[in-house]
Structure 1
Amino acid sequence: MLRKRFNKNIKKEVANFTQSIAEDRRLFLYDIWNTQAHNLMLHRQEIIKEENLKLILKYLEKAKQEFLNNEFIFDEELEDVHINIENYVRGKGGKKTGVLHTARSRNDQVVTDTRMLCRDEINNVIENLINLAGVLLELSEKHAGTIVPGYTHLQQAQPTTFGHFCLAYAGAFKRDIERLSETYKRVNLCPLGSCAFAGTSFQIDRKFTAELLGFDGAVENSLDAVSSRDFAVEIISNLAIIMSNLSRLCEEIIIFATSEFNFIEISDDYTTGSSIMPQKKNPDVAELIRGRTGRVYGNLINILTVLKGITYSYNRDLQEDKKPLWDSFDVVNSSLVVVSGMLAEMKVKELEINPDIIATDIANLLVQKGVPFRDAYNIVADFIKSSDFKKLNENLSEFNIKLTGEEIKLLTPAACVEMRNSLGSSNQVEVLRLVEKSRKEIDSKIRDLENRRKKIDDARLKTGKLVKSYKKH
């Protein structure tokens, strides 16, 4: 279709090597919408005639319906989805439909489709993050008083609550939402109308097409609009951070579910068995999320490497931005869905806590009695090492202080947690306060998500109504 200036046909192996139909299928419906909006604008600007527009809109709709019914036949010799759609419309509608690509290049067409898909996927990821944060806040509230050991270096360190633990991860995923929401603002800008890279001499209206496609505005510099893929890097970077947070959470779930730790139990729905060991209950879901994190990291390196040596404007290298984007979205969305379900059905157990875990609280008690902290630290370290209560008081004698056994008995793990009253501490009251605050913040993010989706839906409806209006003429 695009080889009129060549003397030879492209070799079959080259055609197979350069075509991208498998990756482009996801863009099909976006490309239909893109082309509808572009041609509605062309007619509005009196660049194409109404009879041409009607035919174009008619066969775009037929192509859309065939695709939705899995009846659209792709020709791999036509390189990509975009040329397949144009070829379909021209094949059905004749020469009058040949104007559909006026004042547009595949360069601006493809990146517009990509941004449209990415904004929808960003919203899907945010929705799944909101659901996960909601599950974690439910667990935080339910277990605000459930005493568990807190760890540093994977050694029991201080008593805390399972609610405080869950709240920490809720905070991490809330920041993931915030990062993606900021990225959305940079993604939801329209490149359409930039043509190959230098703009066009036709009197087009880029703002009108941006409005019909639900964008917040245009990427104004036409060279920047078609050349830049920093939005893709930013997206995958955010998705990699999400996977990092998920992987850390899953690592803790895997450890805490072992017989050595044994203070959570993963539901049978999210575990698998062994082919040889009948007693096994394997945390495969958590392990796969941990493993697939590397895929998303790899996708980030992939896109960065694609971009590092190419000049502005378009180079065919940019065709390779799709696989890492699509794969990263798929991995993150599926991981968020299954980890939310796994956590919702997880059981938290009672467990024994190492009595030494209150050592810091004993030292704090001594500080309250007038012992400098570093001296208190060393005195308690000796006490933990020797378990000699008499020696403890001998070490305290230089400070004219005596500690009774009753005072130490009162320092239970639960009492130690209850004494913590600093902002954001594991105290039950503080945990519940933060749960309530976090829920309000999440509610705000739900409203933001609904508003973003509504804007896109309204634009789609507006385009659809304009398309239908030409059927009546």
Structure 2
Amino acid sequence: MAGNAAASGDDGPKLWGGRFKKPLDSEMEKFNASIDYDKIMWSADIDGSIAYAKALAKTSIISAEERDKLCQGLELVRNEWKGGKFQIVASDEDIHTANERRLTELVGDVGRKLHTGRSRNDQVATDTRLWLRDRILAISAVLKEAISAFVEQAKVNQTVMLPGYTHLQRAQPIRWSHWLLCYASMLKRDFERLQEVYKRTNVLPLGSGALAGHPFDIDRDFLAMELNFDGITLNSLDGTSDRDFVSEFLFWSSLTSTHLSRMAEDLIIYSTKEFSFVTLADEYSTGSSLMPQKKNADSCELIRGRAGRLTGHLTGWLCTLKGLPLTYNKDLQEDKEPLFDAVETITSLIKISCGVIKTLTVNPDKMKAALSPEMLATDIAYYLVRKGVPFRDAHHVSGECVQLAESKNVDLDKLTVDDFLAVSTKFESDILQIFDYEKSMEQYNAKGGTGSKSIKWQIEVFTDWLKQN
């Protein structure tokens, strides 16, 4: 008892305090604790502990009566958390010790049996997986709603045309629906990737002990079934030290936010007075404290800004993980804050992006007015290809036509048939018919293109996919 007393915190002995004579330094106490942020996993910890109590009874380490007492006590702890009545004390290092401490206060010494054969190493790995898999399901639903918003807007705006850009220079005419479906495609990949992250998250490490395994032949398959895991980890060393699922989720969050950031950047540009292609809804805009005329795309700027934050979480975590020897090290505690923040941040980014797209006003006249004849220079080359000219030669001739128009200080469509013939005898009088933006887009009807037939096909693919997921 003397040893335990010496290693006590302000509110009782540490669960691990038997071999220590002196208590933690007060600053070390705060430095070591994670309860302030990992308390978010209180429900997952209780779920894991209830399943573990049942598994202990199954091995006869505890009696059925003790099992029931533990499970009932854990439900009382759950109710305290739900009701906002759970009291954290100074000796609670983390959510695991907090729940076990309170359980023991409620049910007596039988509470001390719950941890038999279990380590905080496999316990925290289990709790984190339980907590994250539920969030992945919630994020999947939000992401699906966002994809649906892009697709619905594409349906409404199938015929609206605007310049497509490369290098931020006008390139070729495209449809606004094509732009929307581009980002829907990115988010669809993000959705599919997230389901893969879920699969690798939903594997049970409980029963791995501290690192060597479980000494009482715990039924890990039973535990997996109780907790709705798809399977169990194959190796106890890996079970306690694996944080690949955290790394994957942080990568996923970073990549998904990068896609949303690119969308936001487009909308920031398109909503400027210089472009005026779109108008953001008041609900997703702010004003200036000095200039009354300003309507700022702050929703999009924050999407763009917080994407950097998520990339920072991933980078910082990988730097922590890269040098760790097997198996558990306290450094692994550093996964919680970036993970928790990443879940909250990416969820809000998806929700705000969805809202922005749903309420966005498109200005078709401004978009169409931004189209210019030189964007059809490639069509001149395609015209010649259809006349039998090799593409490389046709491309060169088209460039000469552009140069001629510039030398005459006229738009490309203002060249005469004679001007075109002066460049190449392959031109005929029908060359002037190519200067039609709608006709230009309609040639891109191969699946995936900006032609109306392709747009309808893309919408059908997304509509079917949304029904199936």
SS at match of 1:4: helix
- Extract unaligned runs of 5+ from structure 2: 1-13, 406-414
Name the structure 2 match of 1:61.
75
The two structures have a TM-score, normalised by structure 1, of: 0.91
Alpha-carbon contact 2:104-2:111 (below 8 Å) kept: yes
Q: Find the counterpart in structure 2 of residue 434 from structure 1.
A: 458
**Structure-1 residue corresponding to 2:35:** 21
Matches within 5 A, 1:246-395: 246-349=260-363, 350-351=365-366, 352=369, 353-387=371-405, 388-389=415-416, 390-395=418-423
Deviation of 1:126 after TM superposition, in Å, equals: 1.5
CA deviations 1:176-198 (Å, max 9, x no partner) are: 11111112111100001111011
Q: Which residue of 2 aligns with 1:6?
A: 20
* Aligned residues of 1:16 and 1:77 also touching (Cα < 8 A): no
Q: CA deviation at 1:407?
A: 4.1
2:411 aligned residue: none
TM-superposition CA deviations, 1:394-449 (whole Å, max 9, x none) = 1222xxx3432x6424531111111222221101111111111122123222xxxx
1:220 and 2:234 correspond: yes
Moved more, 201-210 or 242-251: 201-210
What value does the CA root-mean-square deviation take over the aligned residues?
1.3
Task: List structure 1 segments (4+ residues) > 4 angstroms apart after TM superposition.
Answer: none
Shift of 1:37: 0.5
Q: What's the CA shift for 1:32?
A: 0.5
1:145 alignment partner, SS class: coil
Deviates more, 1:61-70 or 1:368-377: 368-377
Following TM superposition, by how much is the alpha carbon of 1:240 offset from its aligned partner in structure 2, in angstroms?
Answer: 0.9
C-alpha separation in 2, matches of 1:379 and 1:414: 23
1:19–1:76 Cα contact (<8 Å) kept: no
Residue identity (%): 37
The residue type equivalent to 2:443 in the other structure is M
- Name the structure 2 match of 1:146: 160
Counterpart amino acid of 2:392? R
2-structure distance, mates of 1:76, 1:433: 61
Alignment check: 8 A CA contact 1:257 1:263 kept: yes
1:70-118 deviation digits (Å, cap 9, x = unpaired): 1101113221111011111111211122211112111111100000111
Q: Relative contact order (C-alpha < 8 Å, sep 6+): which is higher?
A: 1
SS of corresponding position for 1:160? strand
Structure 1 residue runs without a partner (length 5+) = 446-473
Match of residue 424, structure 1, among 420, 445, 448: 448
TM-score w.r.t. length of structure 2: 0.91
Bigger drift between 350-359 and 317-326 goes to 350-359
User: Which AA in structure 2 matches 1:82?
Assistant: H
3-state SS of 2:232 partner: coil
* 1:279 CA drift (Å): 0.7
Number of aligned pairs? 441
Task: Kindly indicate whether the alpha-carbon contact (under 8 Å) linking 2:285 and 2:298 is maintained by their aligned counterparts in 1.
Answer: yes
Q: Counterpart in 1 of 2:428?
A: 403
Residue type at the aligned position of 1:114: T
SS of the residue corresponding to residue 197 of structure 2 reads: helix
Q: Name the CA distance, whole Å, in 2 between partners of 1:78 and 1:5.
A: 19
SS of the equivalent of 1:9 reads coil
The letter of the residue matching 1:264 is: V
Cα distance in 1 for residues equivalent to 2:188 and 2:382: 33
Task: Name the amino acid aligned to 1:267.
Answer: A
1:152-202 CA-to-partner distances (Å, cap 9, x unmatched) read 111111011011111111111111111111121111000011110111221
The letter for the 1-side match of 2:449 is: S
CA contact (8 A) 1:59 1:89 kept: yes
Deviation at 1:326, TM superposition (A): 0.9
Q: Greater CA deviation, 386-395 or 179-188?
A: 386-395
Q: What letter corresponds to residue 383 of structure 1 in structure 2?
A: C
Higher mean C-alpha deviation, range 240-249 or range 39-48:
39-48
Counterpart CA distance in 2 for 1:287 and 1:4 is 53
The one-letter code matched in structure 1 to 2:376 is I
1:457 equivalent in structure 2: none
Q: In the alignment, is the contact (CA less than 8 A) between 1:380 and 1:392 conserved in 2?
A: no
Secondary structure at the counterpart of residue 447 of structure 2? coil
Q: Distance in 1 between matches of 2:443 and 2:267?
A: 28
Number of the residue aligned with 1:468: none
| SS in structure 1 at match of 2:170 | strand
Q: Contact 2:59–2:216 at 8 Å: present in 1 too? A: no
Aligned match for 1:50, one of 51, 59, 64:
64
Matches of 2:237 and 2:388, distance apart in 1: 69
Who is 1:414 aligned against?
A: 438
Q: Distance in 2 between matches of 1:89 and 1:121?
A: 26
